[in-house]
Structure 1
Amino acid sequence: MFDRHLAVWPAQLPRQLTLPQTCLYTNLAVSALRYPERPAVIYYDYVIDYRTLKQQVDALAGYLAAQGVARGDRVLLYMQNAPQFIISYYAILRANAVVVPVNPMNRAAELEHYLSDTGASLCLCGQELVDTIAPMIGRGDFKHLVVAAYSDYLPAQTDLTLPEEVKAPRKPLSGAGVISFSDALAQQLPPPELLVGPDDLAVMPYSSGTTGAPKGCMHTHRSVMMPCLGVALWMEGNSESVTLATLPYFHVTGMQSSMNAPIYQGSTIVLMTRWDRRVAAALIQRYRVTRWGNIVAMVIDLLSDPDLANYDLSSLNNVGGGGAAMPQAISDKLKALTGLDYIEGYGMSETMAATHVNPVHRAKPHCLGVPIFGVDARVVDVETLTELGVGDVGEIIIASPQLMQGYWNLPEETAKTFIEFEGKQFLRTGDMGYYDEEGYFFIVDRVKRMINAAGFKVWPAEVEAILYRHPAVQENCIISTPHERRGESVKACVVLAAGHEQVTAEDIIAWCKEQMAAYKVPQEVAFYDALPRSQTGKILWRTLQEQEWAPAQSS
């Protein structure tokens, strides 16, 4: 068991956790029993208490069961952040079924894969997405569609700026098998007997991986419960916490840190459907938000608001996230404004969110953090799988109760992803990294993202981290570009910071030559107004990479 990090382990926290031998739905049931009148969700000033939340979850579970949803069935949840997402998620679990969260940016081809791969008979979706998925009713096993209008959960009045999808009134629905969310609830059908326990499947997020179609990560109630409790404790949350939820719930990070963990604690979620920095600042002030999990781009955007000084952010006691490098200038600005360090972490769909988080009292910049409760993390040679030591770069492997059971219907992919090491099953993350003397882990890059420049290995994330030190660089992404002699070389895709528009590609290349080994220096620099991003805020390096190589591959 890796233990180098125990010297920096938070003194007030236990080393191990005893997990509840229950399903995830029980977390909601217990919080509703303890705190029936406490706000569970605040949605643009509309308040839902725990009693009401549980009542609506139970009613929707009854409707799902009446449509034939049974133990172990997969149910698609195709929706943006909204109260209906939370209700749907827990109702699926209460119906003894398995949640399949789907990115609301997905369209027909992706949805066809999810439906055929899971065999789902029912989907709950936002009404802005109904035209995409409704035409698929009747194909295969897919028979039922429940459509949510987010505006059903708005207060009579609010001064907050609302996204168009949230303001949109409920639209009339038609077609066999289609029903509105509100009509499904209105039937007030009793939920079925609760049959599932910790070892039943609970959630199946899809991981895009690096090749092929997305793969379903099979998670049990136990593997979801582990990081749900762990992150809640590690981030010093409690029943009085107020969490600003801006990360998308279809992604495991937002799902765990901003939905499952607060519900386990019986605390309050302040929920946003779309990111808006002015609305976020207003909500932090209005509801005395204490915790905010995010992506770096949100922090950059919030702190660049010229009117930010007009808002009181003093209630915040924990701000953190991951997914991209946090520029030092931004973390310094956050520290000056709030007195808080930005707490970075690391996780993946296969681990149901964080396995590594920085200690709140000893955070290191540009660092994944240390292994948290129950996590045994090692670094091994990619080829030989022999364990490496301090400072040596290799593939990070992880053993933990929070690991998935495997990929749905893909036994060969599952077998390639797990290895036996010291008598335990470890997950091969595909991420290259190392750990330092204190047991803090650092990521270098994805195994498949390495650039081979005339035999020299270049890890794009390492070059990106260095390039962020340049005062003119607001964002950057390193990709490979075809090279006549080397085969491939390094290219930097750069967004310049305001006030540095005069900086040239030659200026950046010259600076890089002073900062890094010659083989790592970008041979080309391209300037962008904005880099392409996923809905979770990650820079789409693969999109940039494919665009770069497309001309060469077509010639």
Structure 2
Amino acid sequence: YLPPEPARPVPPAMIAGFPADGEALAWREVLAKGYAPPPGRAQNDDLALLPYTAGSTGRPKGCLHTHATVIANVVSSALWNGVTASSVCLAALPFFHVTGMVHSLHAPVLAGATMVLLTRWDREAALQAIEKYRCTHWTNITTMLIDLLAHPQIGERDLGSLVLVGGGGAPMPEAVAKKFQALTGLSFVEGYGMTETISQTHMNPPDRPKLQCLGIPDFGVDARIIDTESLRELPCGQEGELVVAGPEVMKGYWQRPEEDAAAFLELEGKRFLRTGDICRMDEEGYFFIVDRKKRMINAAGFKVWPTEVEGVLYRHPAVAEVCVVGVPDPVRIETTKAYVVLRPEFRGQVSEADIINWARENMAGYKYPRIVEFAASLPKSGAGKVLWRELQEMERRTAGEARHHAD
């Protein structure tokens, strides 16, 4: 489907083309045949999609989404983000990812907007697309914006057409958000959602976003904070598990009744989905994430949340990317370790000890990482999310092998 000479950088494999196997047809051939879609027969409660969770906290699970659950978020995405027929949306997220599908495909189609497609994430291709096509909207994940802002000529590029840039996938580090605002004058508009909710359950109001904040509940969403043990609802300001009920919540997991039983609970006669995320709500109804419940590090009895530590480390000028995990420790139960990708200009100039010493001066004594390991890159999913669980499991395997050899 590419033109003979693409205007933007594309992966070499796309230039070479893909051989059609068996009965498969090239997209251009399909268009040339003039096929018409069959009459629509789907009803609101019919199964529409079976997207699978990323598996970042365990085995991937298929989520049963109907036409009604999907369209709820498609409409809210277009309305909330102000997508209209005059909008030009940069589609950088893969469409197999629920956020990319809802915000970068379905919402623009609903509004009659223009889509600019990237085959793979490439920051230079993204910058050229924004400049050439005057993109107005860009929904992304944290790692993409971090990469874009690390471009050596970012200060010389024309981003003036952008009117709304937002996304989720992981909390946006404060230092990154402030750099983006200084560069463009725009506030990054964060949102929050899951595969189980076909993208967003929370979004920041575009005209009044808060930094490092999930936002407020989406249209029709009932969101509450509960105690993880007693399951009682907690008041404003207290940390607990976020549970949600709303039109975008899945019907359940595909052939996993035992997972359904663990994922849902009933409050006041209403069915709520347990997100597994530790959050709090402020006095204005904005929600803030602390971290995934399963990511908590038990450091000598103190709770350490990796997301918080990562947010501080991103303020160090040498840090391009970081992932914090817990490492088994015979004295402290667990200790904090940070995998750090350095910015190119700092490689060979900054040591692991420099990062540790800086962290000690910028966060509480029980939180700062005792171990820092430099890495060329961090493992990421096909959607670009950092796979913290891979690093966590690698550390636990290493610790287990060390204990085995010691015995």
Q: TM-score, normalised by structure 2?
A: 0.92
Give the conservation status (yes or no) of the 8 Å contact 2:155–2:183: no
Residues 304, 492 of structure 1: CA spacing in aligned structure 2 closer, same or farther, 3 A cutoff?
A: closer
Give the conservation status (yes or no) of the 8 Å contact 2:78–2:84: yes
| Residue aligning to 1:493 | 339
- In structure 1, the gaps of 5 or more residues are 1-152
How many Å separate the matches in 2 of 1:504 and 1:347? 37
Q: Please, which of 17, 20, 23 is the counterpart of residue 169 of structure 1?
A: 17
**Cα shift at 1:523:** 1.9
How many Å separate the matches in 2 of 1:210 and 1:529? 21
| Residue aligning to 1:217 | 63
How many Å separate the matches in 2 of 1:497 and 1:278? 17
How many Å separate the matches in 1 of 2:95 and 2:256? 25
How many Å separate the matches in 1 of 2:248 and 2:77? 12
| Residue aligning to 1:340 | 186
Give the conservation status (yes or no) of the 8 Å contact 2:146–2:320: no
Q: How does 1:9-408 map to 2 (within 5 A)?
A: 153-171=1-19, 173-174=21-22, 178-182=23-27, 191-209=37-55, 212-308=58-154, 311-408=157-254
**Amino acid across the alignment from 2:10:** L
**Cα shift at 1:165:** 2.6
**Cα shift at 1:191:** 4.1
**Cα shift at 1:400:** 0.5
**Cα shift at 1:330:** 3.1
* Aligned residue pair count: 400
Q: Deviations over 1:159-187 (max 9, x none)?
A: 3222123212352534xxx4224566666
**Cα shift at 1:228:** 0.9
| Residue aligning to 2:374 | 527
Identity within the alignment, %: 52
Mapped pair 1:536 → 2:390 = no
Question: RMSD of the TM alignment (CA)?
Answer: 2.1
**Amino acid across the alignment from 1:542:** R
**Amino acid across the alignment from 2:99:** T
Give the conservation status (yes or no) of the 8 Å contact 1:495–1:530: yes
Structure ID, larger Rg: 1
Give the conservation status (yes or no) of the 8 Å contact 1:210–1:448: no
Q: Which moved more, 1:185-194 or 1:255-264?
A: 185-194
- In structure 2, the gaps of 5 or more residues are none
How many Å separate the matches in 2 of 1:207 and 1:545? 19
Residues 383, 172 of structure 1: CA spacing in aligned structure 2 closer, same or farther, 3 A cutoff?
A: closer
Q: Name the SS for the 2:140 alignment partner.
A: strand
Q: Name the SS for the 1:379 alignment partner.
A: strand
How many Å separate the matches in 2 of 1:461 and 1:452? 14
Give the conservation status (yes or no) of the 8 Å contact 2:56–2:388: no
Mapped pair 1:472 → 2:325 = no
**Amino acid across the alignment from 2:17:** P
**Cα shift at 1:487:** 2.5
How many Å separate the matches in 1 of 2:182 and 2:35? 53
Q: Deviations over 1:115-150 (max 9, x none)?
A: xxxxxxxxxxxxxxxxxxxxxxxxxxxxxxxxxxxx
**Cα shift at 1:352:** 0.4
**Cα shift at 1:307:** 3.8
**Amino acid across the alignment from 1:541:** W
Give the conservation status (yes or no) of the 8 Å contact 2:175–2:314: no
**Cα shift at 1:426:** 0.6
